[in-house]
Amino acid sequence: MHLSRPSTTRLAFFAGVAALGLAWTLNSSHAEDMPADRAGLDAYIRDYLMGNPQVLRDALLKLEADEQTENAKRVLRDLKEEIYHAGSPEIGNPDAKVIIVEFYDYNCPYCRSAYPEIKAFIEANPDTKIVLKDIASLGKESEAVARVVIAAAKQGKFAALHDRLMTQKGQNTEARALDAAAKLGLDMERLKIDAQSSETGDALTRAQQLADRLSVPATPLYIIGHQGISGSPDDLVAQLSRHVDDVRKAGCDVC
């Protein structure tokens, strides 16, 4: 998601204050050596910072990270109804303590390669669930497939069809999605009508607009609390575990 960056001037000001505080803390055991007058104290602090420039750098980086975190939290709180309570399909424990939100596309290769790990993680962690936001960002076939899956959810078959489409090889097309739905025993006449309904179109549009408002850079994007994971990194499960544990311990202040 897009987060505004604090100005260099403001960063430098507050980082300087933080660095001075750290310099004082580090030297508190030698307080008797510190000058009592303002000019002497200023020179003492300047000499400390010149000799330990990493203090200022670390303070700048921490301030920037803290401000970006607060910006992210503010954005997520403002949009929490659309993120968590918009009627999107879910997989996992309905009463889960920890919610993972995924923005995806059925033709996104990274979404599909990560799917087995995500599925196994949810199954191994019964206090979690995943809220799925199909944004159909990869063309008309992706949008047609998304409509079929949204319609399938109305017949209680979302999880089964989602699994089929995420695990089959090749491009997911409307024809292949309809074929998979038929094999799962859905009412196909009703499915086709629901897939083309304005209600289904509105649900897809809401997911796409939410992704735009969060400036989702690409799929997949996972949100856990105020943390995000973009793509399918090699350590995806490790990152998920770390962020899920954080929510378990401290709760979610943006959900």
Place of tokens 């100005």: 7
Distance separating alpha carbons of residues 188 and 177, to the nearest angstrom: 11
In tens digits, the chain (255 residues) has pLDDT values of 433 344 444 444 444 444 444 444 444 445 556 566 777 767 777 777 777 778 667 767 766 665 666 776 788 899 999 999 888 999 999 999 999 999 999 999 999 999 999 999 999 999 999 999 999 999 999 999 999 999 999 999 999 999 999 999 999 999 999 999 999 999 999 999 999 999 999 999 999 999 999 989 889 999 999 999 999 999 999 999 999 999 999 999 898
What pLDDT shows up at residue 5?
41
Domain with CATH 3.40.30.10 in the chain: 82-250
Distance separating alpha carbons of residues 129 and 179, to the nearest angstrom: 28
Token pair of 37 as six digits: 């007058």
Residues 6+ apart with CB under 8 A from 18: 59, 62, 63
Residue pair 123/163 in contact by the 8 Å Cβ criterion? no
What pLDDT shows up at residue 61?
73
Distance separating alpha carbons of residues 98 and 246, to the nearest angstrom: 10
Q: Which of 88, 193, 104, 94 is nearest to 151 (CA)?
A: 193
Query: Is CATH 3.40.30.10 what the domain over 82-250 is classified as, yes or no?
Result: yes
Distance separating alpha carbons of residues 48 and 51, to the nearest angstrom: 5
Token pair of 253 as six digits: 């202040």
